[in-house]
Amino acid sequence: MRISHARDPASPYSLFGIDVAVIVMPSETSLAESNPLILDSLPDLSPSDGGCPRRARLQIDLMLLAIEALYLGGAEEMLAVSKELELAGIIKNRVALWLLRNTNPLRRYTQRRPLTALEAKALVAIACNLARKLTATIRQLLLDSQQLRSRNLPFNQHLPLAEYLERFRAHFRSRMNPKRSVVAAYDSDEKLDELALNLLSKLLFCTGTAGMQRFWVSLFDGEVE
C-alpha cells in the first residue's frame, strides 16, 4: 500500500510535465529563431499592429516587379535569396511569396489579408539584397537613360533600357487590375516608362550602405503618428 501511494501521484504528473515540455519547447525556440538577424536593423514602425500601410504594400510589390523586369528569373531568385537570408521561415514557398506580394491593393488578385511588419521586412530585405546584386546594371541603365534624355532621344534607342522598360510594362499590365483608377492612370507607354525609371532610381538607393533602412523608413513616411 505505501509503495503504491508514493508512486501513484508522482508518476502521472511527471509524465505530464515531460510531455508538456517536449511539445512546447521547440515551438517557442523556433518562434524566437524566426526573427532573422538581418531584420533587426529595421525598426518597428507599423502604426498599429494591423499590418503595413497601403502605400508600403504597393511600393514593395512595385520594387519587386522592377527587379523582375531587370532580371529574368527574378521571382525564382527571390525565393533563393529568402533562403540565403534565412527568411524561409517567413516566406515558405512560392505561393506564400505570391500571397504576400498580392497584398498590393492594385493587383488583379489582391489579397485582403494584412501584410505583417515581419513579412514586409522580409520582402524589403529580399528586394534590397537583389538590388545590391544588380547594382552595376541599375547604375548603367540610369546613366544611359540620363544620356538619352539629355540628347532628347527616345528610350528604345538603347537596347538594354528598352528591354527593361518593355518587360516592366508587360509585367505591370498583366498583373495590375486595370479597373483601379491608379492603374488606369498609367494608360500610355510613356507613363509606365516614367514609373519604371522612377522605381529604378529608388532601387539604386536600396543598394547603398544604409539602403535597406532608408527604403524601410521611407515606406512609413506620413503614415505614423
Nearest CB to other proteins, comparing residues 56 and 81: 56
Long-range CB contact pairs, 183-190, < 8 A, 24+: 183/106, 189/165
Taking the complex as a whole, the smallest distance from the CB of residue 216 to other proteins amounts, in Å, to 8
How far is CA 163 from each of CA 65, 71, 85, 92, 194, rounded to the nearest angstrom? 14, 10, 29, 31, 14
Nearest CB to other proteins, comparing residues 147 and 157: 147
Nearest CB to other proteins, comparing residues 71 and 220: 220
Taking the complex as a whole, the smallest distance from the CB of residue 14 to other proteins amounts, in Å, to 52
Q: Coil, strand or helix: which one is 107?
A: strand
Nearest CB to other proteins, comparing residues 169 and 202: 202
Whether the Cβ atoms of residue 138 and residue 204 lie closer than 8 Å to each other: yes
Give the footprint of other proteins on this chain (CB under 8 A).
43, 45, 47, 139, 142-143, 145-146, 149, 194, 197-198, 201-202, 204-205, 208-211, 213-215, 217-225
Taking the complex as a whole, the smallest distance from the CB of residue 56 to other proteins amounts, in Å, to 10
Taking the complex as a whole, the smallest distance from the CB of residue 222 to other proteins amounts, in Å, to 4
